Chain A
Amino acid sequence: AQKVTQAQTEISVVEKEDVTLDCVYETRDTTYYLFWYKQPPSGELVFLIRRNSFDEQNEISGRYSWNFQKSTSSFNFTITASQVVDSAVYFCALSEPSSGGSYIPTFGRGTSLIVHP
């Protein structure tokens, strides 16, 4: 079973629409971290946000917002008024402690967002 599930493989919207990317995770640890990364066509993953398991406050950064709900093990990402430059693959990741005490991130399969002009 996947630890991080991004059920939406591809989403296509028209510019200025709002879009939500879903992320559901699975862990038995009480301490863990969640991330979102953006991968533009250039290939390099760009860090967007980090959230620890004890902080359920939602966060807004410009047109981006994140909704963390431990009750449903979800960490969804919303882009408001989407733009063509938002077109990319977005990855959700979970970082939990391994047996050696290290934190190793596990990534979802990604959601490809296409924003049409």
Chain B
Amino acid sequence: DGGITQSPKYLFRKEGQNVTLSCEQNLNHDAMYWYRQDPGQGLRLIYYSQIVNDFQKGDIAEGYSVSREKKESFPLTVTSAQKNPTAFYLCASSISRSSNYGYTFGSGTRLTVV
């Protein structure tokens, strides 16, 4: 079955550490997105990528970095510069940059700073 796989499901980070969240899709979608979800805040866009080797900042990109070396993969690194990283992170994809047929989401990674 096609879909998006996010790993790990739960992640714990010590203050000052960088951590990388994995997002892999086998849908052959061109566009991929990272969202952060906090209670009562809805989903906020961190980064998005419309094609390989290209990505754009979203509304809350500070303290995060991404790469898009392969079409199937869009990992998100939460750096030590992100002061409040505890949140639920969702990866999504769509067929293309102009696609409005909907977005497919992964099951998320819950990151906690300890």
Chain A contact residues, CB within 8 Å of chain B: 6, 9, 33, 35, 37, 42-47, 50, 52, 91, 95, 100-110
Contacts and interface: CB of A to CB of B under 8 A. Distances in A.
Contacts of B82: none
Contact of B105 (A6, A33, A45): A45
B74 interface: no
Interface string B11-48: 00000000000000000000101010000111111001
If over half of B's interface residues share one DSSP class (helix, strand or loop), that class is named, otherwise mixed; here it is: strand
B48 A104 contact: yes
A33 B107 contact: no
B45 A44 contact: no
A105 B40 contact: no
Contacts of B43: 91, 107
Given A42-B107, A44-B107, A45-B90, 7 more contacts: A35-B103, A46-B105, A47-B102, A52-B100, A102-B97, A104-B45, A104-B58
Contacts, number: 59
Interface of B: 31, 33, 35, 40-45, 48, 50, 56, 58, 88, 90, 92, 97-108, 110
A45 B48 CA distance: 17
- Centre residue among A33, A52, A95, A105 by max chain B CB count within 10 A: A105
Contact of B104 (A9, A47, A52, A103): A47
- Centre residue among B43, B50, B88 by max chain A CB count within 10 A: B43
Given A42-B107, A110-B42, A50 B101 contact: yes
B88 A108 contact: no
B98 A43 contact: no
Contacts of A101: 97-98
A47 B97 contact: no
Nearest to B45: A104
